[in-house]
Amino acid sequence: MENIKWGKNTPFFLHNINENDDMQAIISTLNQQGGNHLVLSHPKHKALFERYKHYFQQGITKLAIKQSNTIKNDAIKNGTIIIALTDINGDDITNMHASAINTTG
């Protein structure tokens, strides 16, 4: 297991997946884009969330954890995607502290 910590020198992007969004398409785009992403997914997507969770727990595939402290060309080629199943909308967040444990490493 590896702890994931993002701070002021490790930028990340906050994304909302609303109930009518295509979660699979959004996650696919973020995966190809690279960088660090915190994704807040609407509870309607619970079944797909559970499938992603199961898939990544298998250790089949994962984004590289190697981090870069600067963004070059608007993207970090490696990174981490953290997906939270919640009815909280990122637009409502004014201050946040997050930590996660990588269970696939």
pLDDT higher at 97 or 83: 83
In a domain, 82, yes or no: no
Answer whether residue 102 shows pLDDT above 70: no
Q: What is the crossing angle of helices 46-57 and 23-33, to 10°? A: 40
* Number of structural domains in the chain: 1
In a domain, 70, yes or no: yes
Q: Please state whether the predicted TM-score (pTM) of the whole model is above 0.95.
A: no
In a domain, 85, yes or no: no
In a domain, 91, yes or no: no
13-43 residue pLDDT tens: 889 999 999 999 999 999 888 888 889 999 9
Domain that holds residue 29: 16-75
* Beta sheet of 37-41, edge-to-edge order: 13-17, 37-41, 81-85
